[in-house]
Amino acid sequence: MFSPNNNNYSRRRFLSQSGLGLLAFAGMPGLLNAMEGMQAMPKLPPRQANPNFKADVEIELFCKPASVPIFVGQQTRVLQYSARVLNGPKDAVTEIPGSYLGPLIHLQKGQKVRIHLHNGLSETTVTHWHGLHVPAEMDGHPLYAIDPGEKLVYEFEVLNRASMNIYHPHPHEITAKQVYHGLAGALFVHDEEEAALGLPSGAYEIPIVIQDRLFDDQNQLVYVRHMHERMMGFYGDRILVNGRAEFQIDVESRAYRLRILNGSTARIYKLAWDDGTHITVIGVDGGLLEKPETKPYMMLAPGERLDVWADFSGRAEGSQLVMRSLPFSGVLPSMGMMMHRGSLPVGSDYPVFTVKVTRKVSDSPKLPNTLSSFRRYQIADTANPNKPVPIGISEAHMAMLLNGRPYAYNDVQDFERIPVNSIQLMEIFHAHGGGHGQPAAGDGQAAGQQGGMGMGMGMGMGMGMGMGMGMGMGMGMGMGMGMGMGGMRHGGMGGGMGGGMGMGGGMMMSMAHPIHMHGQSFQIVSRSIANGMEHDYATVSDGFIDSGLKDTVLVMPGESVRLIKPFQDFKGLFMYHCHNLEHEDMGMMRDFLVV
Ligand code: C2O
Ligand code: CU
Ligand code: CU
């Protein structure tokens, strides 16, 4: 039977997508070895329902092409999730009328859920429940992707606390394209702790899914046209909220709960109210904070969520408040900024949505002082307090990797094997460029791979700058050589990663990556920023909340993040990857194997 995921196909595809010729590969022994070891992703028979699993709620989920009105004139062709409840509470699924987004799914903690996914696309797909702690076979790993016309059955119990999560496709190398064309939706978990707080609900709790999209003059979506749109991530020039342009909410003068999700493939936002009112945050990715926090602005990277308390009481009828994205710098390399010349640059100042007070009311709920409690892990609770699991970000002009390797099925490294029911200390860092450097892995092999990449990176840079941009060849070569040397020296040592690598070229390549881990939420222990990188960092650093439970963390250039993550209950493959979905599809993804 034909399998689209066979070894040669993946390899050829990687080569053509990355634009790398054999010449460049000759300088990348590490990468070449990784690719030799690459295994074909087997095509499994789609999972069937287990008659012994007694579902409390059973949902049919379809994904298929559709047309929706977004602008006046022609409708926009999209890919869309739709759903219906087969059994259980009818309000488990609610539509967002007129939106290409999938319906809102509402689950209760402790519920047993069965979901029948029908693939009505013309290519493979699989759905992942981003944020949910489910068995590996239920997690939407690309290994379980189904062909057009096939059906896949998921069965799991909701173990998560109350939280806003995301369901979206996760097929190998085509995740970004499917999400971009519309396949995504919000999935809420509710629990008793949340219910007891009496937070604004019903009409006073508003989902806000922020996405950027690019349209042609026929109102049709435009996606990646050049390699650099993958390298930097793809950026649209229209901001859509819940699938609508120029989104406006009409509110009463009272408190609301805004459930915000960045569903963009690459765009990072710096959200702030336009009148200077600070943002009151009551929750992040993994649910409610212990107590509310107030911030002048909040950074929100792809895959991240924010639970915001927005109190409009005291505001006059007819008054308006705009949620903007404010200026910031550093998330793209300066070369990337030049290539990304859209009319809505990342880090520029633009409106995201508008709130209009249309009715004056006298009553409003009060913000609770304390919201929730959860176990806070200490480093002493971890199995590896002195040897964090490394997540090394490597950037090259033509490849984005983690721990020096592109995604490959069945390519688990020693440090990617995690004992089940352990709690792990982990460290995300820039293996090149940032100049920070932590001998985190103590893994000579991984470091060797990264050294190999350093060489490839240098060559890639030189060619890209010379040909693609028509810029001074001297500059391109200079940068390439700087990085290449760094890589060689580093590889030669075969020791700790990244130490003292803060060379000029490396810094220029560095960009921000929202790193996401499947499975249970993690807790951020500390962040540190490399010398010389503080200037850009200061434009974003007041916009992080590290006191909550997270599954996606924005890692700025030159930044290292230490975190603690439990790997409880389930064995098997759990991905970690960049949630810049273009990066993910380029291979900036790896598996942990929980054993
Ligand atoms: Cu939201 Cu592995 O993804
Ligand atoms: Cu996920
Ligand atoms: Cu990335």
Q: Determine if ligand 1 sits within 6 Å of the CB of residue 577.
A: yes
User: Among 420, 413, 432, which Cα is nearest to 509's?
Assistant: 432
Tell me the pLDDT band of 337, cut-offs 50, 70 and 90: low
Cα separation of 248 and 231, whole Å?
Answer: 33
Which ranges of 143-214 would DSSP assign to H, the alpha helix? 175-180, 192-197
Q: Determine if ligand 1 sits within 6 Å of the CB of residue 590.
A: no
pLDDT at 228: 86
List b or e across 207-220, with b for residues whose CB sees 16 or more CB atoms inside 10 angstroms: bbbbbbbbbeeebe
pLDDT at 509: 66
pLDDT at 37 over 80: no
Residue 170 Cα to ligand 1 midpoint, Å, equals 7
Ligand nearest to the CA of 302: 1
Tell me the pLDDT band of 349, cut-offs 50, 70 and 90: very high
Q: In what order do the strands lie in the sheet with 104-108?
A: 93-94, 104-108, 185-190, 163-169, 127-130
Q: Say if residue 419 is exposed, middle or buried (CB neighbours under 10 Å; 0-12, 13-18, 19+).
A: exposed
Residue nearest to atom 3 of ligand 1 (CA): 130
pLDDT at 565 over 90: yes
Q: Say if residue 296 is exposed, middle or buried (CB neighbours under 10 Å; 0-12, 13-18, 19+).
A: middle
Residue 285 Cα to ligand 1 midpoint, Å, equals 12
User: Among 405, 416, 443, 438, which Cα is nearest to 526's?
Assistant: 438
- The arithmetic mean of pLDDT across residues 563-589, rounded, is 97
72 vs 491 pLDDT, higher one: 72
Cα separation of 499 and 476, whole Å?
Answer: 24
pLDDT at 338 over 70: no
Instruction: Encode pLDDT of 507-531 as tens digits.
Output: 446 899 999 999 999 999 999 999 9
Residue 303 Cα to ligand 2 midpoint, Å, equals 8
Q: Determine if ligand 1 sits within 6 Å of the CB of residue 130.
A: yes
Instruction: Encode pLDDT of 375-384 as tens digits.
Output: 999 999 999 9
Q: Determine if ligand 1 sits within 6 Å of the CB of residue 168.
A: yes
Residue nearest to atom 1 of ligand 1 (CA): 130
Q: Determine if ligand 1 sits within 6 Å of the CB of residue 340.
A: no
Residue 518 Cα to ligand 1 midpoint, Å, equals 7
Residue 341 Cα to ligand 2 midpoint, Å, equals 30
Residue length of the chain: 595
Cα separation of 59 and 133, whole Å?
Answer: 18
Query: Considering the chain, what is the average pLDDT of its residues?
Result: 84
Q: Which long-range contacts (CB under 8 A, 24 or more apart) does 332-335 make?
A: 332/232, 332/511, 332/512, 333/508, 333/509, 333/510, 333/511, 333/557, 334/508, 335/465, 335/469, 335/508, 335/509
Instruction: Encode pLDDT of 301-330 as tens digits.
Output: 999 999 999 999 999 999 999 999 999 999
Q: Determine if ligand 1 sits within 6 Å of the CB of residue 228.
A: no
Ligand nearest to the CA of 183: 1
Q: Determine if ligand 1 sits within 6 Å of the CB of residue 172.
A: no
